[in-house]
Structure 1
Amino acid sequence: MAGLQFPCTLFKTQKRMDDYSASDMRCGDLTEARLKSYYGLVDVSAKANPYTLTKITPFNQPQSMFYGSRGAGEKITRQQCAAILFDEFRERSPLFSVYGPYRHLAEEMITHMQHGKGSPFSSVSLNRALKEHILSDNTPNSTRLRLGEAIEKYIDWKNKCYPAKDKEELRKAILEGKLPKFDRIQDNFNGMGITVHDTWATHITIKSLQVDDGSYRAVLHYRIQDHFGLDVDDISKFSFNLFRFFRIWFVLQRYNQFGFKPFMTNMEAVIEITGDRK
Protein backbone atom coordinates (compact mmCIF):
# COMPACT_ATOMS: atom_id res chain seq x y z
CA MET A 1 0.00 0.00 0.00
CA ALA A 2 1.44 3.37 -1.07
CA GLY A 3 1.91 5.93 1.66
CA LEU A 4 1.27 9.65 1.39
CA GLN A 5 4.35 11.61 0.31
CA PHE A 6 5.39 14.77 2.15
CA PRO A 7 5.12 17.69 2.07
CA CYS A 8 1.56 17.28 0.85
CA THR A 9 -0.93 20.12 0.27
CA LEU A 10 -4.23 19.07 1.79
CA PHE A 11 -6.37 22.12 1.17
CA LYS A 12 -6.59 25.36 -0.80
CA THR A 13 -9.47 27.82 -0.73
CA GLN A 14 -11.18 28.69 -4.00
CA LYS A 15 -10.00 32.26 -3.58
CA ARG A 16 -6.38 32.35 -4.64
CA MET A 17 -3.30 33.82 -3.03
CA ASP A 18 -1.92 37.13 -4.34
CA ASP A 19 -5.19 38.09 -6.02
CA TYR A 20 -4.53 41.72 -6.87
CA SER A 21 -7.69 41.84 -8.98
CA ALA A 22 -9.93 41.53 -5.89
CA SER A 23 -12.42 44.36 -5.36
CA ASP A 24 -10.84 45.45 -2.07
CA MET A 25 -7.44 45.85 -3.76
CA ARG A 26 -8.58 48.72 -5.99
CA CYS A 27 -7.24 52.20 -5.34
CA GLY A 28 -7.49 55.73 -6.71
CA ASP A 29 -10.51 54.84 -8.83
CA LEU A 30 -13.28 57.09 -7.44
CA THR A 31 -13.98 60.79 -7.98
CA GLU A 32 -15.03 63.33 -5.36
CA ALA A 33 -18.54 63.42 -6.84
CA ARG A 34 -18.93 59.63 -6.59
CA LEU A 35 -17.53 59.46 -3.06
CA LYS A 36 -20.03 62.07 -1.95
CA SER A 37 -23.14 61.04 -3.89
CA TYR A 38 -22.89 57.24 -3.85
CA TYR A 39 -21.25 56.63 -0.48
CA GLY A 40 -22.17 59.74 1.50
CA LEU A 41 -18.53 60.59 2.19
CA VAL A 42 -18.97 64.34 2.64
CA ASP A 43 -17.80 64.63 6.25
CA VAL A 44 -14.64 62.51 6.20
CA SER A 45 -12.12 63.88 8.68
CA ALA A 46 -12.33 66.07 11.75
CA LYS A 47 -8.97 67.68 10.91
CA ALA A 48 -8.71 68.21 7.14
CA ASN A 49 -11.03 68.39 4.18
CA PRO A 50 -9.63 66.07 1.48
CA TYR A 51 -11.71 67.74 -1.25
CA THR A 52 -10.90 71.41 -0.62
CA LEU A 53 -7.44 70.68 0.83
CA THR A 54 -8.02 72.87 3.86
CA LYS A 55 -7.50 72.34 7.56
CA ILE A 56 -10.66 72.02 9.60
CA THR A 57 -11.11 74.36 12.56
CA PRO A 58 -14.17 75.22 14.67
CA PHE A 59 -14.75 78.09 12.23
CA ASN A 60 -15.14 75.89 9.14
CA GLN A 61 -16.65 72.79 10.79
CA PRO A 62 -20.36 72.74 9.80
CA GLN A 63 -21.36 71.27 13.17
CA SER A 64 -19.68 74.09 15.08
CA MET A 65 -21.48 77.16 16.46
CA PHE A 66 -18.55 79.20 15.06
CA TYR A 67 -19.03 77.90 11.50
CA GLY A 68 -18.55 80.62 8.87
CA SER A 69 -17.42 83.34 11.23
CA ARG A 70 -13.84 83.45 9.91
CA GLY A 71 -14.07 82.12 6.38
CA ALA A 72 -12.39 79.06 4.93
CA GLY A 73 -9.69 77.07 6.67
CA GLU A 74 -5.96 77.17 5.97
CA LYS A 75 -5.00 75.78 2.57
CA ILE A 76 -2.67 72.78 2.57
CA THR A 77 -1.03 70.64 -0.09
CA ARG A 78 -2.33 67.23 -1.07
CA GLN A 79 0.67 65.61 0.64
CA GLN A 80 0.06 67.56 3.84
CA CYS A 81 -3.62 66.61 3.78
CA ALA A 82 -2.78 62.91 3.33
CA ALA A 83 -0.34 63.08 6.26
CA ILE A 84 -3.03 64.65 8.48
CA LEU A 85 -5.54 62.00 7.46
CA PHE A 86 -3.10 59.17 8.17
CA ASP A 87 -2.33 60.63 11.61
CA GLU A 88 -6.04 60.74 12.38
CA PHE A 89 -6.44 57.22 10.94
CA ARG A 90 -3.85 55.96 13.45
CA GLU A 91 -5.28 58.00 16.32
CA ARG A 92 -8.68 56.38 15.85
CA SER A 93 -7.38 52.79 15.68
CA PRO A 94 -7.44 52.23 19.49
CA LEU A 95 -11.22 52.18 19.24
CA PHE A 96 -10.80 48.68 17.78
CA SER A 97 -7.54 47.77 19.55
CA VAL A 98 -8.36 48.17 23.21
CA TYR A 99 -6.16 45.53 24.84
CA GLY A 100 -3.80 42.62 24.30
CA PRO A 101 -0.44 41.93 22.67
CA TYR A 102 -1.70 42.72 19.15
CA ARG A 103 -3.11 46.19 19.71
CA HIS A 104 -0.04 47.76 18.05
CA LEU A 105 -0.67 45.97 14.75
CA ALA A 106 -3.35 48.41 13.55
CA GLU A 107 -0.99 51.37 13.72
CA GLU A 108 1.81 49.37 12.08
CA MET A 109 -0.41 48.35 9.18
CA ILE A 110 -1.80 51.86 8.69
CA THR A 111 1.77 53.16 8.51
CA HIS A 112 2.61 50.39 6.03
CA MET A 113 -0.28 51.56 3.85
CA GLN A 114 1.07 55.10 4.03
CA HIS A 115 4.64 54.27 3.06
CA GLY A 116 4.70 50.67 1.77
CA LYS A 117 3.43 51.38 -1.77
CA GLY A 118 1.34 48.19 -1.79
CA SER A 119 4.13 45.79 -0.78
CA PRO A 120 3.05 42.68 1.20
CA PHE A 121 3.04 42.85 5.00
CA SER A 122 4.13 40.13 7.42
CA SER A 123 4.82 40.18 11.12
CA VAL A 124 6.03 37.90 13.89
CA SER A 125 3.04 39.11 15.90
CA LEU A 126 0.60 38.10 13.16
CA ASN A 127 2.16 34.65 12.96
CA ARG A 128 1.96 34.29 16.73
CA ALA A 129 -1.68 35.37 16.75
CA LEU A 130 -2.52 32.78 14.09
CA LYS A 131 -0.74 29.98 15.94
CA GLU A 132 -2.43 30.88 19.24
CA HIS A 133 -5.79 30.95 17.49
CA ILE A 134 -5.32 27.47 15.99
CA LEU A 135 -4.01 25.92 19.22
CA SER A 136 -6.69 27.48 21.41
CA ASP A 137 -9.57 26.36 19.22
CA ASN A 138 -10.89 23.26 20.98
CA THR A 139 -14.36 23.44 19.46
CA PRO A 140 -15.81 20.63 17.31
CA ASN A 141 -15.10 22.82 14.26
CA SER A 142 -11.34 23.01 14.87
CA THR A 143 -9.47 21.98 11.72
CA ARG A 144 -6.55 20.92 13.91
CA LEU A 145 -8.67 18.51 15.95
CA ARG A 146 -10.57 17.24 12.91
CA LEU A 147 -7.32 16.48 11.09
CA GLY A 148 -6.05 14.61 14.15
CA GLU A 149 -9.20 12.49 14.21
CA ALA A 150 -8.91 11.69 10.50
CA ILE A 151 -5.25 10.74 10.77
CA GLU A 152 -5.97 8.42 13.70
CA LYS A 153 -8.90 6.82 11.85
CA TYR A 154 -7.21 6.13 8.52
CA ILE A 155 -3.56 5.68 9.46
CA ASP A 156 -1.97 2.35 8.49
CA TRP A 157 -0.41 1.33 11.78
CA LYS A 158 0.99 -1.91 10.37
CA ASN A 159 3.01 -0.17 7.64
CA LYS A 160 3.52 2.98 9.73
CA CYS A 161 2.22 5.40 7.11
CA TYR A 162 -0.88 7.26 6.00
CA PRO A 163 -2.42 5.62 2.88
CA ALA A 164 -2.26 7.83 -0.18
CA LYS A 165 -5.69 6.54 -1.25
CA ASP A 166 -7.23 8.17 1.84
CA LYS A 167 -5.83 11.65 1.27
CA GLU A 168 -9.31 12.97 0.45
CA GLU A 169 -10.42 12.11 3.99
CA LEU A 170 -8.01 14.76 5.29
CA ARG A 171 -9.45 17.34 2.95
CA LYS A 172 -12.96 16.41 4.04
CA ALA A 173 -11.96 16.87 7.66
CA ILE A 174 -10.89 20.45 6.89
CA LEU A 175 -14.01 21.21 4.86
CA GLU A 176 -16.22 20.04 7.72
CA GLY A 177 -14.47 22.40 10.13
CA LYS A 178 -14.02 26.16 10.28
CA LEU A 179 -10.88 27.77 8.91
CA PRO A 180 -9.04 30.13 11.29
CA LYS A 181 -10.58 33.60 11.12
CA PHE A 182 -10.35 36.53 13.49
CA ASP A 183 -14.09 37.06 13.77
CA ARG A 184 -14.53 36.10 17.41
CA ILE A 185 -15.97 38.52 19.96
CA GLN A 186 -12.55 39.23 21.48
CA ASP A 187 -11.15 40.10 18.04
CA ASN A 188 -13.38 43.19 17.98
CA PHE A 189 -11.22 44.65 20.77
CA ASN A 190 -7.77 43.01 20.60
CA GLY A 191 -6.65 44.51 17.28
CA MET A 192 -7.00 41.36 15.16
CA GLY A 193 -10.55 41.99 13.99
CA ILE A 194 -9.68 45.37 12.50
CA THR A 195 -6.39 44.25 10.92
CA VAL A 196 -7.40 40.81 9.60
CA HIS A 197 -10.96 39.75 10.56
CA ASP A 198 -12.16 37.46 7.78
CA THR A 199 -9.42 35.97 5.63
CA TRP A 200 -9.07 35.76 1.85
CA ALA A 201 -7.08 32.60 1.09
CA THR A 202 -5.88 29.62 3.13
CA HIS A 203 -3.50 26.78 2.32
CA ILE A 204 -2.97 23.85 4.69
CA THR A 205 -0.06 21.47 4.14
CA ILE A 206 1.06 18.42 6.07
CA LYS A 207 4.84 18.69 6.16
CA SER A 208 5.64 15.36 7.80
CA LEU A 209 4.11 12.39 9.58
CA GLN A 210 6.00 10.04 11.88
CA VAL A 211 4.29 6.83 12.92
CA ASP A 212 5.62 4.63 15.72
CA ASP A 213 4.18 1.44 17.17
CA GLY A 214 1.33 3.15 18.99
CA SER A 215 1.54 6.87 18.34
CA TYR A 216 1.98 9.44 15.61
CA ARG A 217 3.32 12.99 15.23
CA ALA A 218 2.21 15.20 12.35
CA VAL A 219 3.51 18.66 11.43
CA LEU A 220 1.03 20.98 9.75
CA HIS A 221 1.70 24.28 8.00
CA TYR A 222 -1.05 26.88 7.80
CA ARG A 223 -0.54 29.72 5.33
CA ILE A 224 -3.19 32.43 5.37
CA GLN A 225 -3.52 35.65 3.41
CA ASP A 226 -5.83 38.62 3.85
CA HIS A 227 -6.20 42.02 2.18
CA PHE A 228 -5.73 45.29 4.07
CA GLY A 229 -8.17 47.21 1.91
CA LEU A 230 -11.83 48.21 1.62
CA ASP A 231 -14.29 47.64 -1.19
CA VAL A 232 -17.53 49.47 -1.92
CA ASP A 233 -19.59 46.83 -0.10
CA ASP A 234 -17.60 47.55 3.08
CA ILE A 235 -18.14 51.30 3.09
CA SER A 236 -21.80 50.88 2.14
CA LYS A 237 -22.46 49.09 5.44
CA PHE A 238 -23.85 51.37 8.12
CA SER A 239 -21.49 49.87 10.73
CA PHE A 240 -18.51 50.95 8.58
CA ASN A 241 -19.78 54.27 7.25
CA LEU A 242 -20.67 55.36 10.78
CA PHE A 243 -17.02 55.63 11.86
CA ARG A 244 -14.52 58.24 10.66
CA PHE A 245 -11.89 55.49 10.90
CA PHE A 246 -13.39 53.69 7.88
CA ARG A 247 -14.38 56.85 6.03
CA ILE A 248 -10.79 58.11 6.21
CA TRP A 249 -9.46 54.68 5.19
CA PHE A 250 -11.76 54.49 2.15
CA VAL A 251 -10.96 58.01 0.96
CA LEU A 252 -7.21 57.52 1.33
CA GLN A 253 -7.42 54.30 -0.68
CA ARG A 254 -10.08 55.00 -3.29
CA TYR A 255 -10.12 58.79 -3.92
CA ASN A 256 -8.41 59.51 -7.23
CA GLN A 257 -6.43 62.36 -5.66
CA PHE A 258 -4.78 60.03 -3.12
CA GLY A 259 -4.85 56.38 -4.23
CA PHE A 260 -2.81 54.84 -1.42
CA LYS A 261 -2.39 51.17 -2.20
CA PRO A 262 -3.90 48.38 -0.10
CA PHE A 263 -1.71 45.34 0.46
CA MET A 264 -1.54 41.61 1.12
CA THR A 265 -1.26 40.52 4.76
CA ASN A 266 0.62 37.22 5.07
CA MET A 267 0.47 34.89 8.06
CA GLU A 268 1.79 31.39 8.67
CA ALA A 269 2.01 28.92 11.52
CA VAL A 270 3.56 25.48 12.02
CA ILE A 271 1.46 23.23 14.26
CA GLU A 272 2.26 19.81 15.70
CA ILE A 273 -0.47 17.32 16.42
CA THR A 274 0.08 14.01 18.14
CA GLY A 275 -2.09 11.05 18.97
CA ASP A 276 -2.15 7.44 20.11
CA ARG A 277 -3.60 4.34 18.55
CA LYS A 278 -7.11 3.80 19.87
Structure 2
Amino acid sequence: MATYGDKSAQAIRLPTLLFTTQRQMDDYNAADMRYGDISVDRLQQHYKLSDISAYINPFTYPDRAHSARVLFDEFRYLSGTFSFVGDYQPLIGKMITHMQVADGAKFTDTLLDKALAEHSSLESSLERIKKALTIHTDWERNTFPRTKWEKMQEEIMESTLPKFNNWMDRINGLTISVHDLWAANITLKSLEIKDNRYKADVHYHIQDHFGLDDNDITHRLYRQFRANSDNKCNART
Protein backbone atom coordinates (compact mmCIF):
# COMPACT_ATOMS: atom_id res chain seq x y z
CA MET A 1 0.00 0.00 0.00
CA ALA A 2 1.44 3.35 -1.03
CA THR A 3 1.78 5.98 1.67
CA TYR A 4 1.39 9.76 1.42
CA GLY A 5 4.49 11.23 -0.17
CA ASP A 6 5.51 7.97 -1.82
CA LYS A 7 7.02 9.25 -5.09
CA SER A 8 6.45 5.93 -6.82
CA ALA A 9 2.71 6.48 -6.41
CA GLN A 10 2.65 10.09 -7.65
CA ALA A 11 1.30 10.54 -11.16
CA ILE A 12 3.09 12.60 -13.75
CA ARG A 13 1.91 16.22 -13.81
CA LEU A 14 0.08 17.28 -16.93
CA PRO A 15 0.68 18.88 -19.28
CA THR A 16 4.35 17.89 -19.28
CA LEU A 17 7.13 18.47 -21.79
CA LEU A 18 8.36 15.05 -22.89
CA PHE A 19 11.08 16.20 -25.25
CA THR A 20 12.73 19.33 -26.55
CA THR A 21 15.60 19.77 -28.98
CA GLN A 22 18.82 21.52 -27.99
CA ARG A 23 18.17 24.08 -30.71
CA GLN A 24 15.57 26.58 -29.58
CA MET A 25 12.39 27.93 -31.12
CA ASP A 26 12.43 31.42 -32.67
CA ASP A 27 16.20 31.47 -33.12
CA TYR A 28 16.61 34.55 -35.28
CA ASN A 29 20.39 34.38 -34.84
CA ALA A 30 20.66 31.06 -36.70
CA ALA A 31 22.86 31.17 -39.80
CA ASP A 32 19.94 30.50 -42.11
CA MET A 33 17.90 33.35 -40.62
CA ARG A 34 20.41 36.14 -41.21
CA TYR A 35 20.33 38.25 -44.36
CA GLY A 36 22.08 41.19 -45.97
CA ASP A 37 25.43 40.37 -44.33
CA ILE A 38 27.28 38.83 -47.31
CA SER A 39 29.10 40.96 -49.85
CA VAL A 40 28.69 40.62 -53.60
CA ASP A 41 32.31 39.47 -53.90
CA ARG A 42 31.77 36.68 -51.38
CA LEU A 43 28.56 35.57 -53.08
CA GLN A 44 30.36 35.34 -56.40
CA GLN A 45 33.78 34.10 -55.32
CA HIS A 46 33.10 31.87 -52.31
CA TYR A 47 29.63 30.57 -53.13
CA LYS A 48 30.12 30.64 -56.92
CA LEU A 49 26.73 32.31 -57.40
CA SER A 50 26.87 33.63 -60.93
CA ASP A 51 23.99 32.05 -62.89
CA ILE A 52 21.20 33.26 -60.61
CA SER A 53 18.43 34.26 -62.98
CA ALA A 54 17.37 33.54 -66.54
CA TYR A 55 16.04 37.09 -66.86
CA ILE A 56 18.32 39.56 -65.09
CA ASN A 57 21.71 39.92 -63.47
CA PRO A 58 20.85 41.07 -59.93
CA PHE A 59 24.45 42.07 -59.27
CA THR A 60 24.36 44.78 -61.94
CA TYR A 61 20.66 45.57 -62.35
CA PRO A 62 20.10 49.21 -61.34
CA ASP A 63 16.60 48.89 -59.83
CA ARG A 64 16.96 46.67 -56.74
CA ALA A 65 13.26 46.59 -55.92
CA HIS A 66 12.36 45.48 -59.44
CA SER A 67 15.21 42.98 -59.39
CA ALA A 68 13.86 41.44 -56.17
CA ARG A 69 10.36 41.14 -57.65
CA VAL A 70 11.72 39.37 -60.72
CA LEU A 71 13.73 36.94 -58.59
CA PHE A 72 10.78 36.12 -56.34
CA ASP A 73 8.54 35.56 -59.37
CA GLU A 74 11.17 33.29 -60.87
CA PHE A 75 11.50 31.42 -57.58
CA ARG A 76 7.75 30.81 -57.52
CA TYR A 77 7.82 29.55 -61.10
CA LEU A 78 10.81 27.24 -60.64
CA SER A 79 9.43 25.80 -57.41
CA GLY A 80 6.75 24.05 -59.48
CA THR A 81 9.42 21.55 -60.53
CA PHE A 82 9.37 20.20 -56.96
CA SER A 83 5.68 20.70 -56.21
CA PHE A 84 3.27 19.36 -58.80
CA VAL A 85 1.13 16.64 -57.15
CA GLY A 86 -1.09 16.32 -54.09
CA ASP A 87 -2.68 18.58 -51.50
CA TYR A 88 0.50 20.41 -50.52
CA GLN A 89 1.31 21.98 -53.89
CA PRO A 90 0.22 25.51 -52.78
CA LEU A 91 2.54 25.59 -49.75
CA ILE A 92 5.76 26.62 -51.44
CA GLY A 93 4.08 29.47 -53.32
CA LYS A 94 2.51 30.74 -50.10
CA MET A 95 5.85 30.57 -48.30
CA ILE A 96 7.77 32.37 -51.02
CA THR A 97 5.19 35.17 -51.06
CA HIS A 98 5.24 35.33 -47.26
CA MET A 99 9.02 35.64 -47.36
CA GLN A 100 8.70 38.43 -49.91
CA VAL A 101 6.14 40.57 -48.07
CA ALA A 102 5.93 39.61 -44.40
CA ASP A 103 9.24 41.09 -43.16
CA GLY A 104 10.33 38.09 -41.12
CA ALA A 105 6.98 37.27 -39.50
CA LYS A 106 6.24 33.65 -38.63
CA PHE A 107 4.46 31.48 -41.16
CA THR A 108 1.83 28.91 -40.20
CA ASP A 109 -0.70 27.09 -42.34
CA THR A 110 -3.30 24.35 -41.86
CA LEU A 111 -1.64 22.42 -44.69
CA LEU A 112 1.52 22.20 -42.59
CA ASP A 113 -0.51 20.90 -39.66
CA LYS A 114 -2.12 18.30 -41.92
CA ALA A 115 1.21 17.28 -43.44
CA LEU A 116 2.79 16.65 -40.05
CA ALA A 117 -0.21 14.86 -38.56
CA GLU A 118 -0.43 12.46 -41.50
CA HIS A 119 3.26 11.94 -42.25
CA SER A 120 4.80 8.50 -41.81
CA SER A 121 7.93 9.94 -40.16
CA LEU A 122 5.81 10.89 -37.14
CA GLU A 123 5.37 7.22 -36.29
CA SER A 124 8.92 6.73 -35.02
CA SER A 125 8.54 8.99 -31.99
CA LEU A 126 4.86 8.15 -31.48
CA GLU A 127 5.58 4.43 -31.30
CA ARG A 128 8.27 5.09 -28.69
CA ILE A 129 5.83 7.13 -26.61
CA LYS A 130 3.22 4.36 -26.86
CA LYS A 131 5.82 1.80 -25.82
CA ALA A 132 6.82 3.84 -22.76
CA LEU A 133 3.21 4.34 -21.73
CA THR A 134 2.49 0.63 -22.06
CA ILE A 135 5.57 -0.56 -20.16
CA HIS A 136 5.83 2.06 -17.42
CA THR A 137 2.21 2.82 -16.55
CA ASP A 138 1.19 1.72 -13.06
CA TRP A 139 -1.86 -0.25 -14.14
CA GLU A 140 -2.92 -1.01 -10.56
CA ARG A 141 -3.18 2.68 -9.65
CA ASN A 142 -4.13 3.84 -13.18
CA THR A 143 -1.30 6.39 -13.21
CA PHE A 144 1.89 7.05 -15.07
CA PRO A 145 4.43 7.51 -12.24
CA ARG A 146 6.43 10.70 -12.11
CA THR A 147 9.52 8.57 -11.52
CA LYS A 148 9.16 7.07 -15.03
CA TRP A 149 9.27 10.42 -16.83
CA GLU A 150 12.96 9.94 -17.72
CA LYS A 151 12.18 6.53 -19.18
CA MET A 152 9.75 8.21 -21.55
CA GLN A 153 12.44 10.71 -22.56
CA GLU A 154 14.93 7.92 -23.19
CA GLU A 155 12.48 6.22 -25.50
CA ILE A 156 11.93 9.39 -27.52
CA MET A 157 15.68 10.00 -27.74
CA GLU A 158 15.98 6.67 -29.53
CA SER A 159 13.48 7.71 -32.19
CA THR A 160 13.81 9.71 -35.40
CA LEU A 161 12.10 13.10 -35.41
CA PRO A 162 9.81 13.96 -38.32
CA LYS A 163 11.24 15.18 -41.60
CA PHE A 164 9.75 15.59 -45.05
CA ASN A 165 12.18 13.86 -47.37
CA ASN A 166 10.64 10.70 -48.80
CA TRP A 167 10.15 10.24 -52.54
CA MET A 168 6.61 11.67 -52.55
CA ASP A 169 7.69 14.72 -50.51
CA ARG A 170 10.15 15.59 -53.27
CA ILE A 171 7.36 16.12 -55.78
CA ASN A 172 4.41 17.20 -53.59
CA GLY A 173 6.08 20.37 -52.30
CA LEU A 174 7.00 19.28 -48.76
CA THR A 175 10.73 18.78 -49.30
CA ILE A 176 11.23 22.17 -50.93
CA SER A 177 8.90 23.81 -48.37
CA VAL A 178 10.09 22.19 -45.13
CA HIS A 179 12.45 19.23 -45.58
CA ASP A 180 14.00 18.93 -42.10
CA LEU A 181 13.28 20.63 -38.77
CA TRP A 182 15.18 23.12 -36.65
CA ALA A 183 13.49 22.77 -33.25
CA ALA A 184 10.81 20.54 -31.75
CA ASN A 185 8.81 20.25 -28.53
CA ILE A 186 6.74 17.17 -27.73
CA THR A 187 4.20 17.63 -24.94
CA LEU A 188 1.91 15.15 -23.22
CA LYS A 189 -1.21 17.29 -22.85
CA SER A 190 -3.53 14.77 -21.20
CA LEU A 191 -3.56 11.12 -20.17
CA GLU A 192 -6.53 9.00 -19.16
CA ILE A 193 -5.87 5.49 -17.83
CA LYS A 194 -8.79 3.17 -17.21
CA ASP A 195 -9.68 -0.53 -17.58
CA ASN A 196 -6.15 -1.48 -18.67
CA ARG A 197 -6.18 1.09 -21.45
CA TYR A 198 -4.91 4.60 -21.87
CA LYS A 199 -5.91 7.60 -23.97
CA ALA A 200 -3.20 10.18 -24.50
CA ASP A 201 -3.15 13.59 -26.20
CA VAL A 202 0.35 14.24 -27.55
CA HIS A 203 1.16 17.67 -29.03
CA TYR A 204 4.00 18.25 -31.49
CA HIS A 205 5.29 21.78 -32.00
CA ILE A 206 7.84 21.77 -34.80
CA GLN A 207 9.63 24.73 -36.33
CA ASP A 208 11.99 25.15 -39.23
CA HIS A 209 13.54 28.14 -40.98
CA PHE A 210 12.75 29.33 -44.48
CA GLY A 211 16.32 30.07 -45.39
CA LEU A 212 19.72 28.73 -46.39
CA ASP A 213 23.01 28.39 -44.54
CA ASP A 214 26.48 27.53 -45.89
CA ASN A 215 25.82 23.79 -45.92
CA ASP A 216 22.63 24.27 -47.93
CA ILE A 217 24.20 26.56 -50.51
CA THR A 218 27.31 24.42 -51.01
CA HIS A 219 25.48 21.06 -51.00
CA ARG A 220 26.79 19.02 -53.94
CA LEU A 221 23.30 18.04 -55.12
CA TYR A 222 21.16 21.07 -54.33
CA ARG A 223 23.59 23.65 -55.68
CA GLN A 224 22.99 22.25 -59.17
CA PHE A 225 19.44 23.65 -59.20
CA ARG A 226 18.65 27.32 -59.73
CA ALA A 227 15.74 26.89 -57.28
CA ASN A 228 18.11 25.64 -54.58
CA SER A 229 16.14 25.33 -51.39
CA ASP A 230 16.41 23.57 -48.10
CA ASN A 231 13.52 25.89 -47.33
CA LYS A 232 12.19 26.21 -43.86
CA CYS A 233 9.05 27.13 -41.94
CA ASN A 234 6.95 26.62 -38.82
CA ALA A 235 4.76 23.55 -38.50
CA ARG A 236 2.43 22.89 -35.65
CA THR A 237 -0.06 20.20 -34.91
Q: How does 1:65-214 map to 2 (within 5 A)?
A: 77-133=63-119, 136-137=120-121, 142-214=124-196
Aligned-pair distance for 1:138? 8.4
- State yes or no: 1:21 paired with 2:29: yes
User: In the aligned structure 1, how far is the partner of 2:93 from the partner of 2:72?
Assistant: 10
Q: How far off its partner does 1:96 sit?
A: 1.0
Aligned-residue RMSD, C-alpha:
1.7
Tell me how far apart the structure 1 counterparts of residues 116 and 87 of structure 2 sit (CA, whole Å). Answer: 13
> What letter matches 2:206 in structure 1?
I
Residue 244 of structure 1 and its aligned partner are, at CA, apart by: 1.3
Residues 1:244 and 2:226 are matched in the alignment: yes
**% same residue:** 43
3-state SS of the aligned residue for 1:43? coil
Please say if residues 121 and 160 of structure 2, whose CA atoms lie closer than 8 Å, have aligned partners that are also in contact: no
Partner of 2:3: none
> Kindly tell me: are residues 36 and 137 of structure 1, through their superposed partners in 2, closer, same or farther at Cα, counting changes over 3 Å?
closer
Pair 1:52 & 2:43 matched: no
Alpha-carbon offset, residue 185 of structure 1: 2.1
Given the alignment of the two structures, is residue 266 of structure 1 paired with residue 230 of structure 2, yes or no?
no
Structure 2 unmatched ranges of 5 or more:
1-8
Residue 185 of structure 1 aligns to a residue whose secondary structure is coil
Q: 1 or 2, which has the higher helix percentage?
A: 2
Residue type of the alignment partner of 2:233: T
Structure 1: how far apart are the matches of 2:84 and 2:221? 18
Alpha-carbon distance between aligned partners in 1 of 2:131 and 2:38, rounded to the nearest angstrom: 50
Which amino acid is 1:228 matched to?
F
Q: Note the residue ranges of structure 1 that are not aligned, 5 or more in a row.
A: 54-75, 251-261, 270-278
Where do 1:24-43 residues align within 5 Å?
24-43=32-51
1:6 aligns with 2:14: yes
Question: Rg: which structure is higher?
Answer: 1
Q: Which residue of structure 1 aligns with residue 5 of structure 2?
A: none
The separation in 1 between residues aligned to 2:50 and 2:138, in whole angstroms, is 65
Q: Alpha-carbon deviation of 1:224?
A: 0.2
**Secondary structure of 2:208's partner?**
strand
Structure 1 runs of 4+ aligned residues shifted over 2 Å read: 136-139
Displacement after TM superposition at 1:239 (Å): 1.7
The letter of the residue matching 2:87 is P
Which amino acid in structure 2 is aligned with residue 179 of structure 1? L
Q: Distance in 2 between matches of 1:87 and 1:266?
A: 22
Measured after TM superposition, the shift of residue 103 of structure 1 is 1.1
TM-score normalized with structure 1 length:
0.79
How high is the TM-score relative to the length of structure 2?
Answer: 0.92
